Amino acid sequence: MGIVALLVGMMAYMSLHWASMPPSRIETIDPATLHIAGEFVEANLGSGVEPNGSVTVRVVGNRYSFTPQCLLVPTDTPVTFRATSADVVHGFNIAKTNVNVMLVPGYIATFKTKFKEPADLEMPCHEFCGVGHATMWAHVKVVDKAEFEKQAGGKRRVSCVK
């Protein structure tokens, strides 16, 4: 009967736990109007420096590419990804890092990380999104903080798309 007591105790604990802890904010967005207005319009995609010095990277996944296709990020700086999908479920991971995000249409995903050293990394879509799924690879260029500041200087958004 100890087990039962334990289970019931845990259920009680869980209920209290939730009552005391607000759910983290879930952000929604309409994929049909992404490109017309709001933070995911094309001119606003890519990396931008925030007033506090951190960097925000906005990315949209659609069949079968990411926009932008090449992300430019600095080393040793807090980086926040904000991403969503324009059509079906996509996802991405950046090889050799802990960056791993699901893009569910209708919702905005956020992910915070820091890059340690300069590198050229691959960023594939990692959820089946249709017959072209295997073609959906983007790239990430991690550059030295100073180099990033040079490239980003004065621009609203940067990327490494040529």
- Contact positions toward another protein, by CB under 8 A? 1, 3-4, 7, 11, 14-15, 17-18, 21, 23-28, 30-32, 84, 87-89, 91, 93-110, 121-122, 124-134
- The stretches of the chain forming alpha helices (DSSP H) are 2-20, 145-152
Q: Exposed, middle or buried, 62 (CB in 10 Å: 0-12/13-18/19+)?
A: buried
Residue with Cβ nearer another protein (72 or 125): 125
Q: State the binding partner of 155 from Cu ion, another protein, none, CB within 5 to 8 A by kind.
A: none
Under the binding rule (CB under 5 A), the answer on residue 125 touching Cu ion is yes
Under the binding rule (CB under 5 A), the answer on residue 59 touching Cu ion is no
SS3 59: strand
What is the CA 153 to chain-centroid distance, rounded? 23
> What is the closest distance, in whole angstroms, from the C-beta atom of residue 90 to another protein in the complex?
10
Which residues, other chains included, contact 144 with Cβ-Cβ below 8 Å and sequence gap of 6+? 74, 75, 118
SS3 68: coil
Under the binding rule (CB under 5 A), the answer on residue 103 touching Cu ion is no
Residues lying near Cu ion in the complex (CB under 5 A): 90, 125, 129, 133, 136
